[in-house]
Amino acid sequence: SQKIEQNSEALNIQEGKTATLTCNYTNYSPAYLQWYRQDPGRGPVFLLLIRENEKEKRKERLKVTFDTTLKQSLFHITASQPADSATYLCALEGRRALTFGSGTRLQVQP
């Protein structure tokens, strides 16, 4: 069956460092993959979309890579700030809608 895996353990890093989050998937061949940010008690907010023919995509301090051979996406936040603390979800196109991973909680310490 289709499966999306994100590291369920929280990631704690120091302010200014680069945070790297991982999203692995099996039994999918998605045309694209998306990353969202979710704050407690709020809906997800779209961050980036990367298509299967794109290896890397950047937006300000964010960078996403997409390796369709490894079936993995990496999400990087450079020069991290305490305001970046949130849960980050990866999502793949499903049969009718997006299918989400369970998310990784990022905590940036000042």
Interface with another protein (CB under 8 A):
4, 8, 32, 34, 36, 41-46, 49, 89, 93-94, 96-103
Q: In the complex, what is the shortest distance from the CB of residue 103 to another protein, in angstroms, rounded to a whole number?
A: 7
Residues 6+ apart with CB under 8 A from 14: 108, 109
Minimum CB separation of residue 97 from another protein in Å reads 5
Provide the 8-state DSSP code for 6: E
Residue 36 or 66: the one with the smaller Cβ distance to another protein is 36
Minimum distance from residue 94 beta carbon to another protein (Å): 7
Minimum distance between the CB of residue 45 and another protein, rounded to whole angstroms?
Answer: 7
Residue 41 or 110 having the CB closest to another protein: 41
What span, in angstroms and rounded, lies between the C-alpha atoms of 106 and 54?
A: 25
Q: Is the dihedral of CA 45, 102, 54, 108 positive or negative?
A: positive
If the CB atoms of residues 40 and 110 are measured against another protein, the closer one turns out to be 40
Question: Around Cβ 83, how many Cβ atoms within 10 Å?
Answer: 8
Q: What is the C-alpha separation between 7 and 48, in angstroms, rounded?
A: 19
